[in-house]
A and B are shown apart, each in its own frame.
Chain A
Amino acid sequence: MVTLRINGKAHIVNVPPDMPLLWALRDVIGLTGTKFGCGMALCGACTVHLDGQPIRSCVTPVGAVGSKNVTTIEGIGATPSGKKIQQAWLDLEVVQCGYCQSGQIMSASALLASKAHPTDADIDAGMSGNICRCGTYPRIRAAIQHAARAASPAKTGG
């Protein structure tokens, strides 16, 4: 038995400790907003936060989660940066097929939480682990900048 703290709620699950968190979320607990894309931490579709840090849940064993707080796409709207990112995604009409967007939003929320005014280089570094086959990259970049402006106008015009 493992206790996972997900979006502020405790879940007791009977899974082997080597099971990647992705499958515990999707197949055991039923939180299907987190997506399976590659299984090798290559595409970022499965991104969730552990204590606010973005991780690839497809390669993170449940046993390594411990008492850390897991935040998924279902819960990210309750965080200040997540809420702004979700709204920016809607304002700029980022989504197309939408399948990768849970992971994109999780990566972008973590980026914005760590850097209030990410530069283009910050966005490249923070978002290049997330693949979007619909190619929504220009809008993702613009939406992150939009969310940053909405959060607080940059003092240096960045």
Chain B
Amino acid sequence: MDPVSRREFLIVGAAAGSGLLLGWHMADARPAAADFAPNAFIRIGTDGRITLIMNQVEMGQGTYTSMPMLLAEELEVGLEQVQLEHAPPDDKLYANPFLGDQETGASSSVRAFYEPLRRAGATARAMLVAAAAQSWQVDPASCRATKGVVLHGPTGRKLSYGVLASKAALLPVPTQVPLKDPKDWTLIGTPAKRLDARDKVNGKAQYGIDVRLPGMKIATVAASPVLGGKVAGFDEDKALAIPGVRQVVRLDDVVAVVADHMWAAKQGLAALAVRWDDGPNATVSTADVVRGLDEASQQPGVVARSQGDAAGALAGAAQRIDHVYQVPFLAHATMEPMNCTVHVRKDSCEVWTGSQTLTRAQATAARVTGLPLEKVVVHNHLLGGGFGRRLEYDYVTQAVRVGQQVEGPVKVVWTREEDMQHDFNRPYYYDRVAAGLDASGRPVAWTHRLVGPAIVARFAPPAFKNGIDPDGVDGAVHLIYDIPAIQIEYVRHEEPVLNTGFWRGVGPTHNIFVMESFVDELAAAAKADPVEYRRALLGKAPRARAVLDLAAEAAGWGRPLRTGRGRGVALLYSQWGSYLAEVAEVEVSNAGEVRVHRVVCAVDCGTMINPDIVKAQIESGINFGVSAALWGEITLKNGRVEQSNFHNYRVLRMSEAPAIEVHLVRNNEAPGGIGEPGTAVTGPALANAVFAVTGKRLRALPLERQLRG
């Protein structure tokens, strides 16, 4: 997605009581600084306490460490001096400039706040220095800031930020405060310790599901197992007979059992034996979805990228290769199941949850209750996994609907089964790819027609332009190989039998699998080495070529492997602005089991705020990608999701986890996204490795089902 606006106003004010507040507005946002007082990004109290109000949410990606690092570097304070608060919902104050609202996603936090947070820190520091200089009646240039203190060099006098905060707040906001030269950074670029780690190892970390309130009830729910179905009936008396069950709430498509604790709620739900009217999707199966996609793929799509005469070049090529690639529906399966606590009163509504889109959570509560936005208070929490699932607010909507029927606060907790069967799944995509090779095997034409729903059209309508879902085509339109004729087409095909949404790695997780598998096919057709073949097409892409070389070298590409093992390579470049190359080493058993022994990933994501967090995100992304590529699929039968828990939606475990080596390229390029690309580059590296071992080209996922099927 394009950044909607990078213009911000730095604004400053006195903190309630005293101290210094600093923040910024998006252009065209709230104009008057007077409105600003209760909320700001940075608060420096008279006690010297520095608080960063976090608009980006922590779901494991390390943003609660990387964001304060940006601030602390320029503010000249130690990272340990910065305290964090979850931001309340407010798009005007806290919008992510890349996404347009208060949203954490698209691997965008560092890219969005790299400059604004440093600028805010530098501006605050300049004002604190100016305040000290004024107190001492000296030239500000003779003062410097360090570790939360301003020093006057010639006399050795010092004043702490806390003492200076109120005075600084009254000074004019300087414009054009220069940012540090990267060579002078002392914090950015270091493997600083995560600020959220301690509470996550001692049980104190508070996730949405941990909320406890006086008088709170706990509810668990069953929503229609078929999208569009309704409640037909249930045995309410049997549920109410269970000790601890207080109430059964019936909505048209959901039943909730409200109880003193989850155990009673679960038993109550089972006792209800809910009957459903399945509605129009009652007989739908995965095969029906695939049939619809196949039909849609027969027609041309909207052209998302065009270069040269692809049709002509294909027709005139010495060799033409055509294939269909498919990827299945996937569940997010965050470790923390969906949950939301609400207290709906006549004139107000309070919500406690973990959300990647806090203002959407607030808005849906307002819509459901009919209350004005300002009467809806939302408290955010740490997220026990996001992966895109908590960009949606369906679980908030549902909890508020339930909460309207309940006296006092109620925590609605989904069972794992409910979570897995009511996800916003990664869509099923169906792609037609074709390439023409010249007599030497070099590609002269590349066409890629991808077919799937437009998530963006639902999620962020203004970003859906000219019939193109910019996320759906992400990666596909970034094809980085030097091929003279390219045509990328997008066919929007909605199949409303299952909700679909963003899933870690978004567009590229699908597109890079297709593209990098297909490039591998072209290399095989040209009887070329997969690394050498790619390398020859990267003459105009030095950063991509460098990561490819680095990964190949580190992985020992070309060196002999034990019998039964093979290596596969994949390359990634997309909207995230990061370059990744990965080499996976796998073994395939006669029974079609794939064992991933080793994964080597080379990463150039430009400037790194915290290289250890970058490394952790790559490790994480790879393992997430291994689960999906080997086993991940959500299937439909009679309109119902067939998978329900971790026994039939298999995910990677310790004994199956590969050795992972991450090699980071250091440079001063603009920062790229890093939370998702590790996932997107892994599927094709594994598929290509399976090809290297077995000679079988798998054009659909998951790999193990294809090997057995």
Q: Does A34 contact B (CB under 8 A)?
A: yes
Q: Which chain A residue shows the least CB distance to B617? A: A96
* Segment among B271-279, B367-375, B646-654, B663-671 that sits at the interface with chain A: B646-654
Q: Which residue of A lies closest to B216 (CB)?
A: A27
B524, CB-defined interface residue at 8 Å: no
In the complex the two chains form, is B263's CB within 8 Å of A19's CB? yes
User: Whose C-beta in chain A lies nearest to the C-beta of B626?
Assistant: A135
The contact string, 1 if C-beta is below 8 Å from chain A, for chain B 591-628, is: 00000000000000000000010001001111110100
- What is the CA–CA distance of A49 and B656 in the complex, to the nearest angstrom? 25
B197 touches A89 (CB 8 A): yes
Give the complex CA separation of A131 and B655 in angstroms.
11
- A23-B261, A23-B263 given; A73·B334 CB < 8 A: no
Which residue on A lies nearest to B332, using beta carbons?
A133
Q: How far is the CA of A97 from the CA of B280 in the complex (A)?
A: 38
0/1 interface trace, chain A 28-42, chain B, CB 8 Å (1 if under): 101111111111101
Cβ A130 vs Cβ B262 within 8 A? no
Chain B positions 181-238 with a Cβ under 8 Å from a chain A Cβ: 191, 193-194, 196-207, 209-210, 212, 218
Q: Is the CB–CB distance between B218 and A72 below 8 Å?
A: no
Q: CB-CB < 8 A to B261: which residues of A?
A: 15, 19, 23, 27-28
Confirm or deny: A4 has a beta carbon within 8 angstroms of a beta carbon on chain B.
Answer: no
**CB-defined interface of A69-108 with B at 8 Å, one 1/0 digit per residue?**
0001110010000000010011001111111111001000
* Across-interface contacts of A110 in B (CB, < 8 A): none
Q: Is the CB of A133 within 8 A of B385?
A: yes
Tell which of B203, B334, B384, B623 touches A137, judged by Cβ atoms closer than 8 Å: B623
B416 touches A98 (CB 8 A): no
Complexed CA–CA distance, A113 and B641 (Å): 42
Interface status of A112 (Cβ within 8 A of chain B): no
In the complex, B102 has a CB within 8 A of chain A: no
> What chain A residues lie within 8 Å of B622 (beta carbons)?
135
In Å, the complex CA distance between A130 and B263 comes to 22
Q: Could you tell me the dominant secondary structure of chain A's interface residues?
A: loop
Asked if A27 and B194 sit within 8 Å, CB to CB, the answer is no
Q: Does B117 interact with chain A (Cβ within 8 Å)?
A: no
A97 to B61, CA, bound (A): 7
Verify B203–A102 contact, CB threshold 8 A: yes
Q: Contact at A131–B646, with CB atoms within 8 Å?
A: yes
Contact B651 A133 (CB under 8 A): yes
B218 and A27 contacting across the interface, CB-CB below 8 Å? yes
Please give, as numbers and ranges, the residues of chain B lying within 8 Å of A123 by CB-CB distance.
654
B645 in contact (CB, < 8 A): yes
B262 & A26 in contact (Cβ 8 Å cutoff): yes
Q: How far is the CB of A86 from chain B (nearest CB, A)?
A: 5
With a cutoff of 8 Å between Cβ atoms, the chain B residues found around residue A20 in the complex are 263
CB of A128 within 8 A of CB of B654, answer yes
- Cα–Cα distance between A38 and B212 once the two chains are bound (Å): 21
Known contacts A38-B646, A86-B201; A99/B384 CB under 8 A? yes
Partner of A135, one of B199, B207, B623: B623
Q: Which of B62, B205, B207, B656 has the most CB of A within 10 A?
A: B205
Which one of A95, A123, A140 has the greatest number of beta carbons of chain B within 10 Å? A95
> Quick check: B647 and A42 within 8 Å, CB to CB?
yes
With A23-B261, A27-B261, A97-B382 as contacts: A39 and B335 at CB distance below 8 Å: no
Contacting pair A74 B203 (CB below 8 A): yes
Which residues of A sit under 8 angstroms from B194, Cβ to Cβ? 93, 95
Partner of B60, one of A26, A43, A96: A96
Contact of A98 among B196, B260, B386, B621 (CB under 8 A): B196
- Interface contacts (Cβ under 8 Å), in number, total 182
Question: Residues of A contacting B209 with CB < 8 Å?
Answer: 32, 35-36
- Once the chains are docked, how many angstroms separate the CA of A130 from the CA of B661? 23
Distance, CA A130 to CA B653, complexed state (A): 7
CB A97 to nearest CB in B, in angstroms, measures: 3
Minimum CB–CB distance from A39 to chain B (whole Å) comes to 6
A136→B620 contact, CB < 8 A:
yes
**Are B335 and A43 closer than 8 Å at their CB atoms?**
yes
A128 and B646 alpha carbons, distance in the complex (Å): 13
Q: Which residues of chain B from 246 to 286 have any CB-CB distance to chain A below 8 Å in the complex?
A: 260-263, 266
Question: Which B residues are in CB contact (< 8 Å) with A137?
Answer: 623, 652-654, 657
User: Could you tell me if A134 and B204 are in contact, using CB atoms closer than 8 angstroms?
Assistant: no
Known A23-B263, A35-B335, A133-B387; contact A96-B203, beta-carbon cutoff 8 A:
no
Q: Which residue of A lies closest to B623 (CB)?
A: A135
Cβ-based interface call for A138 (8 A): yes
Bound-state Cα–Cα, A127 to B654, Å:
6
Chain B positions within 8 Å of A86 at CB level: 201-202
B220 to chain A, nearest CB (A): 10
Tell me whether A149 is interfacial, beta carbon within 8 Å.
no
Contact A138 B657 (CB under 8 A): yes
Cβ–Cβ < 8 Å partners of A35 in chain B:
207, 209, 335-336, 384
Q: Is the CB of B382 within 8 A of A98?
A: yes
Would B212 and A30 count as touching, CB distance under 8 A?
Answer: yes
Given the interface pairs A99-B335, A124-B654, A127-B654, the reply to whether A135 lies near B619 with Cβ below 8 Å is yes
Q: With an 8 A cutoff between CB atoms, is B355 at the interface?
A: no
Question: Is B415's CB within 8 Å of the partner chain A?
Answer: yes
A45 at the interface (CB under 8 A from B): yes
Q: Chain A residues near B150: list those with CB within 8 A.
A: none
Contacts of B244 in A (CB 8 A): 16
Report the Cα distance A89→B622, complex, angstroms: 20
Q: Which residues of B contact A101 (CB under 8 A)?
A: 200-201
- Contacting A at CB under 8 A, from B410-456, are 413, 415-416
Give the docked Cα–Cα distance between A133 and B660 (Å).
16
Residue among B193, B616, B653 making CB contact with A128, cutoff 8 Å: B653
Q: Is A132 an interface residue (CB 8 A)?
A: yes
Count chain B CB atoms within 10 A of each CB in A35, A38, A128 and give the residue with the most.
Answer: A38
Q: Contact partner of B203 among A72, A125, A140, CB < 8 A?
A: A72
When chains A and B are docked, how far (Å) is the Cα of A33 from the Cα of B203?
4
A11–chain B nearest beta-carbon distance, Å: 14
Cα distance, A19 to B264, chains bound together (Å): 8
- Residues in A with CB closer than 8 Å to B212 are 30, 32
CA separation between A95 and B619, bound complex, in Å? Answer: 12
CB–CB A97/B645 < 8 A: no
Q: Does A139 contact B (CB under 8 A)?
A: yes
* Known A27-B262, A43-B646: A73·B335 in contact at CB below 8 Å: no
With contacts A32-B210, A97-B385, A99-B336 taken as known, whether A135 is within 8 angstroms of B652 at the C-beta atoms is yes
Is B59's beta carbon under 8 Å from chain A? yes
- Decide yes or no whether A5 CB sits under 8 A from chain B: no
- Measured CB to CB, the closest approach of chain B to A128, in angstroms, equals 4
Q: Do the beta carbons of A40 and B645 come within 8 Å of each other?
A: yes
Looking at the assembled complex, report how far the CB atom of B648 sits from the nearest CB atom of chain A, in whole angstroms: 10
- Interface assignment of B337: CB less than 8 Å from any CB of chain A: yes
Complex contact A133–B203 (CB within 8 A): no
In the bound complex, how far is the Cα of B203 from the Cα of A86, in angstroms? Answer: 11
On whether the beta carbons of A131 and B335 are closer than 8 Å, the reply is yes
Contact assessment for B660 and A138 in the assembled complex, using a CB-CB cutoff below 8 Å: yes
Q: Does chain A have a CB within 8 A of B399?
A: no
A-B pairs, top 7 by smallest CB distance, nearest first, are A33-B203, A135-B623, A99-B384, A98-B200, A96-B60, A97-B60, A73-B203
Task: Give 27 CB contacts A-B under 8 Å.
Answer: A27-B262, A32-B206, A35-B209, A35-B384, A36-B209, A38-B645, A39-B266, A39-B415, A40-B647, A42-B646, A43-B416, A93-B612, A95-B196, A95-B200, A96-B60, A98-B60, A98-B196, A98-B197, A102-B203, A105-B201, A127-B655, A129-B653, A131-B653, A133-B387, A134-B623, A135-B619, A135-B624
A99-B336, A127-B654 are known; give 19 further A-B pairs, CB within 8 A.
A35-B209, A35-B336, A35-B384, A37-B416, A38-B646, A43-B646, A73-B203, A94-B197, A95-B60, A95-B194, A97-B59, A97-B336, A105-B201, A130-B653, A131-B653, A133-B387, A134-B623, A135-B623, A137-B653
